[in-house]
Structure 1
Amino acid sequence: MNIQLETIPETRIAYVRRTGPYGPENALAMEQLKQWAREQGLMQGPAVILGIPQDNPAITPPEHCRYDACISLPEHPPADTSVTYGVLPGGTYAVVTIAHTAEAVQQAWAEILPALSHSGYMLDQQRPVIERYKEDLVSRHLCELCFPV
């Protein structure tokens, strides 16, 4: 597993939240967000799509797990009440690039925490893990998992 350290700046986001078991239905929130972003003209340029699982499914009942489908915002974002706005905290992240499949995500989760510990890093529980979908990676069926350290 190739882990790269990256400083991600604090980022303003718009998001759509889905509550329920993590899995294929998270794609519904992602599609809702993308539709909104297209309508707002946000899908061109440097916008980055993010997925943020807010809860640990090992300790949170599946029906209470929250998943936020997000998009990074420009300096002057549109004002619209159909989405929620927030700020993603910045800091150092351990980033891995993986195939955009459920199997690859599960494998990365199983391997990353021991790999981080072995490298002397600890997961920062105060910041979320981020799924990052950059256009150049998505076109190759890849995505990034960003673990705060």
Structure 2
Amino acid sequence: MKINVVDRKSTAVLYSRGSGKYSEAAAMAWGQLMPFVYGNRLIKPETVTIGISHDDPNITHVDNIHYDACATIDTEMDLPDGIERKTIVGGKYAMALHRGAYEKLSEAYRYLLLKWLPESGFELCDEPCFEVYLNRDPRRTKPENLKTEIYIPIK
């Protein structure tokens, strides 16, 4: 796995939060965010979708795991319950491209956090890791063709 160290600008997003097992939390969050942004015609060709995994499921009890489904949308319109605004903090990140099913992302995280990071000379920052989903519609993409950038905040 090739890892690049990159500087990212802060990114304003709309987001929805899901809780529980990551697969269920993600489905819940995306199921709330995407109908809102599509229904209000807020998706543009340059819109980026991002998932923020806040917790390590090996440490955090499943009931306390949080996942944010995000889209880089800047709008002043009133937001419904469950959709909020926030900024993903900019700074230095280790970025790796994961190819394949989302269910295999945990293997990439394990490699990045347990092997690459300790050997890299960098330290983990106190910001959440996140994923940038590069496929326009993952529901219509074969799992083996999915491309996801994983970002680990470092200093």
Structure-2-length-normalised TM-score: 0.83
Aligned partners of 1:135 and 1:147: how far apart in 2? 20
Contact kept, 8 Å, 1:40 with 1:78, in 2: the verdict is no
Aligned partners of 1:137 and 1:19: how far apart in 2? 23
Who is 1:54 aligned against? 54
Identical amino acids, percent of aligned pairs:
27
Contact kept, 8 Å, 1:20 with 1:62, in 2: the verdict is yes
Who is 2:80 aligned against? 81
Residue 78 of structure 2 aligns with an amino acid whose one-letter code is A
Aligned partners of 2:135 and 2:21: how far apart in 1? 27
Q: Cα–Cα, structure 1 residues 38 and 100, in superposed 2: closer, same or farther, change >3 Å? A: farther
Give the superposition deviation at 1:77: 4.1
Unmatched segments (≥5 aa) in structure 2: none
Cα shift readout 1:66-114 (whole Å, capped 9, x = no counterpart) = 111111123x443313311111111111111112414431210121121
> Residue 29 of structure 2 aligns to a residue in which SS?
helix
Give the superposition deviation at 1:129: 0.3
Task: Return 22-31 or 6-15, whichever deviates more.
Answer: 22-31
1:1-149 matches, cutoff 5 A: 1-74=1-74, 76-82=75-81, 83-113=83-113, 114-124=115-125, 126-135=126-135, 140-149=145-154
Task: Return 128-137 or 37-46, whichever deviates more.
Answer: 128-137
> Residue 85 of structure 2 aligns to a residue in which SS?
strand
Aligned length: 147
Contact kept, 8 Å, 2:52 with 2:131, in 1: the verdict is yes
Residue 13 of structure 2 aligns with an amino acid whose one-letter code is I
Contact kept, 8 Å, 1:17 with 1:68, in 2: the verdict is yes
Aligned partners of 1:93 and 1:111: how far apart in 2? 15
Unmatched segments (≥5 aa) in structure 1: none
